[in-house]
């Protein structure tokens, strides 16, 4: 039954995440739903995610083993990974609306303006690895998330003043922070677990940012879906708030954990 429980838990989680995403503005803009259907999709997402929690609690071999769920440092790493993509991935929604609808730029130019974000992630990961070696995961993750907060704070006036250059620069800076903090979160999350749990730990540390991307896009996209800059700015404020919450979660990545969770 362990294999069946694992399959059911995975399926319910996937369906719940899809329903939550479908209830958001990205897919909804392509598939027109009635208000009643939208409410039903949102309700289905809540019910399915709650069902996932029930399946996990009853399973003898849950997706998240109790020994990992009982590790504050591991949970902090998951929270940091989730907050990072929740705050940064929706930039694709806000940025696309800003560049194309607000600035009248073509899709090709918009794509080019997003390139610095990806380059920033690569550069941030390289620098973050060195900072991690010298200062530890908590300082490295906190600094990376702090950079994301600053970048999102800079993007808000960029939207309000219609500054394409400032918004593009904020994307690059945000990518740097994302790369640095992601390295720290992954290191802290895998370091604290026993050798036999590193596979599942790595999987969870990869799943957390995927969920952050999906849920962040749905939530922040819903806030910023209006065509005017004030709506976009509000979405950026929400993203910055989540990144700030991630800074608080990073305080749990404290050093001094010498033994792996068993």
The pLDDT score that the predictor gives to residue 257 is 44
Assign 258 a pLDDT band (cuts: 50, 70, 90).
Answer: very low
C-alpha closest to that of 82 among 214, 188, 221, 219? 214
Task: Scan for tokens 């702090």, then name that residue.
Answer: 146
Rounded-to-integer distance, Cα 64 and Cα 79, Å: 14
Q: Read off the pLDDT band of 58 (50, 70, 90).
A: confident
- State residue 235's pLDDT score: 84
pTM reported for the whole predicted model: 0.75
Q: What is the mean pLDDT of residues 219-237?
A: 71
Distance CA(159)–CA(94), nearest Å, equals 9
Cα 118 from Cα 115, distance rounded (Å):
5
pLDDT range class, residue 33, cuts 50, 70, 90: low
Mean of the pLDDT values across residues 111-128?
90
Which percentage of the chain shows pLDDT scores above 90?
29
pLDDT of residue 109: 86
How far apart CA 214 and CA 18 sit, in angstroms, is 8
Are the CB atoms for 191 and 258 separated by under 8 Å? no
Contacts with 114 (C-beta within 8 Å, 6 or more apart), sequence order: 92, 95, 171
Percentage of the chain modeled with pLDDT above 70? 73
Q: pLDDT at residue 20 above 80?
A: no
Please tell me the distance from the alpha carbon of residue 141 to that of residue 84, in angstroms, as a whole number: 10
Residue 83 in tokens: 């907050």
What confidence score (pLDDT) does residue 217 get? 82
Residue 247 in contact with residue 149, Cβ under 8 Å? yes
Most confident of 141-155, 158-172, 204-218: 141-155
Which residues, listed in sequence order, are joined to residue 193 by a DSSP beta bridge?
Answer: 261
174/260: higher pLDDT: 174
């Amino acid at each position: 039954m362990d294999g069946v429980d694992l399959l059911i838990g995975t399926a319910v989680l996937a369906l719940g995440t899809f329903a939550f995403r479908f209830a958001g503005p990205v897919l909804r803009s392509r598939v027109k739903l009635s208000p009643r259907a939208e409410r039903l999709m949102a309700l289905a997402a809540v019910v399915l995610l709650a069902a996932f929690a029930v399946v996990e609690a009853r399973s003898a071999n849950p997706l998240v083993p109790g020994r990992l769920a009982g590790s504050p440092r591991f949970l902090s790493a998951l929270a940091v990974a989730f907050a990072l993509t929740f705050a940064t991935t929706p930039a694709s929604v806000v940025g696309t609306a800003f560049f194309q609808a607000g600035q009248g730029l073509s899709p090709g130019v918009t794509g080019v303006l997003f390139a610095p974000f990806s380059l920033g992630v690569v550069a941030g990961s390289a620098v973050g690895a060195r900072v991690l070696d010298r200062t530890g995961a908590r300082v490295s993750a906190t600094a990376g998330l702090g950079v994301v907060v600053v970048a999102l704070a800079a993007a808000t006036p960029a939207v309000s003043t219609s500054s394409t250059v400032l918004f593009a620069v904020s994307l690059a800076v945000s990518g740097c922070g994302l790369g640095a903090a992601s390295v720290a979160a992954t290191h802290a999350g895998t370091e604290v677990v026993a050798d036999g749990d590193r596979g599942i730990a790595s999987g969870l540390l990869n799943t957390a940012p995927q969920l952050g991307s999906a849920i962040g896009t749905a939530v922040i996209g819903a806030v910023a879906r209006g065509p005017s800059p004030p709506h976009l700015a509000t979405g950026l404020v929400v993203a910055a708030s989540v990144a700030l919450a991630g800074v608080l979660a990073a305080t749990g990545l404290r050093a001094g954990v010498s033994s792996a969770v068993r």
